[in-house]
A and B are shown apart, each in its own frame.
Chain A
Amino acid sequence: MALRVSHEWLPLSSEDPAEVATWGTLRLELDDPQVVLTEAEDLRAQTVCQDVAGALLPLADWLARKWLLLFRSPRICLASGSRAERYSWERSHCLRFVGDGTALPDLCFEPAGRDAIRLRWRSDGGEPERPLRFLLSSNSATLLRGKVEVPLAALVDGVLARLRLRAPGAPALVSLDDSWVRARSAAHADHQPARLAAFAGLDWSLLEETQRDTWRARGGKASLLFEQALAALPPNEPVHADSLASALTQAAGLAELGTSWDALRKRVGRAQSGLPWEVGWDCAHRLRRAMGKDHDEPFSPPSLEPVATSFDIETAVAVVDGREPVRFVADPSKDNRFKRARDVWPVLFGEHSAGTAWGSVFSRRSDADFSVARAFSAELLAPIAGIKRRIAGAADEDDIPWLAHELGGAPEGCVRHQLENHKLLVAP
Chain B
Amino acid sequence: MTTGSPNALYEGSAIHKRYSFDDKNPDLRAGKFECPPDIGYGDAQRVLCEGINGSLHNGWRSARGSSWPEYVWGRSVFPTRAGEQREVTWEARLTNAGNGSYKAYPCTRDRHSDHMPSDVEEALWPSE
Residues of A within 8 A of B (CB): 12-16, 40, 42, 44-45, 49, 52-54, 62, 65-66, 83-84, 87-88, 91-92, 96-104, 106, 127, 129-132, 171, 203, 205-208
Contacts and interface: CB of A to CB of B under 8 A. Distances in A.
Contacts of A44: 30
A319 to B, nearest CB: 15
Contacts of A16: 95
A92 B114 contact: yes
Contacts of B13: 14
B121 A87 contact: yes
Contact of B108 (A62, A87, A127, A206): A127
Given A54-B31, A96-B110, A101-B93, 14 more contacts: A12-B15, A53-B30, A53-B31, A91-B116, A97-B111, A99-B71, A99-B115, A101-B16, A101-B91, A103-B31, A129-B34, A129-B36, A130-B33, A132-B31
A395 B54 CA distance: 80
Contact of A62 (B110, B111, B114): B114
Given A14-B15, A129-B36, A205-B64, A98 B31 contact: no
Question: Shortest 6 CB-CB distances between A and B: which pairs?
Answer: A99-B113, A101-B105, A91-B114, A97-B114, A101-B33, A129-B106
Given A14-B15, A49-B30, A97 B106 contact: no
Interface string B101-128: 0000111101111111110011000010
B1 interface: no
A206 B29 contact: no
B77 interface: no
A136 to B, nearest CB: 15
A84 B118 contact: yes
B68 to A, nearest CB: 12
Interface string B64-77: 10000001000000
B23 to A, nearest CB: 13
Interface of B: 13-16, 27-34, 36, 62-64, 71, 91, 93, 95, 97, 105-108, 110-118, 121-122, 127
B33 A103 contact: yes
Nearest to B104: A101
B43 to A, nearest CB: 17
Contact of A13 (B27, B34, B64, B114): B27
A99 B93 CA distance: 9
Contacts, number: 100
B95 A99 contact: no
A45 B108 CA distance: 23
A19 to B, nearest CB: 8
A100 B118 contact: no
Contacts of A98: 113-114
A84 B52 CA distance: 24
Contacts of B97: 171
B30 A206 contact: no
Best-buried of B27, B29, B63, B122 by chain A (most CB within 10 Å):
B29
Nearest to B113: A99
Best-buried of A49, A65, A103, A203 by chain B (most CB within 10 Å):
A103
A327 to B, nearest CB: 33
Contacts of B32: 54, 101-103, 130-131
Contacts of A106: 110
Nearest to B107: A101
B88 to A, nearest CB: 8
B71 to A, nearest CB: 7
Contacts of B64: 205-206
15 contacts: A13-B27, A40-B30, A44-B30, A52-B30, A65-B114, A84-B118, A88-B118, A97-B112, A98-B113, A99-B112, A104-B31, A127-B111, A130-B32, A131-B30, A205-B64
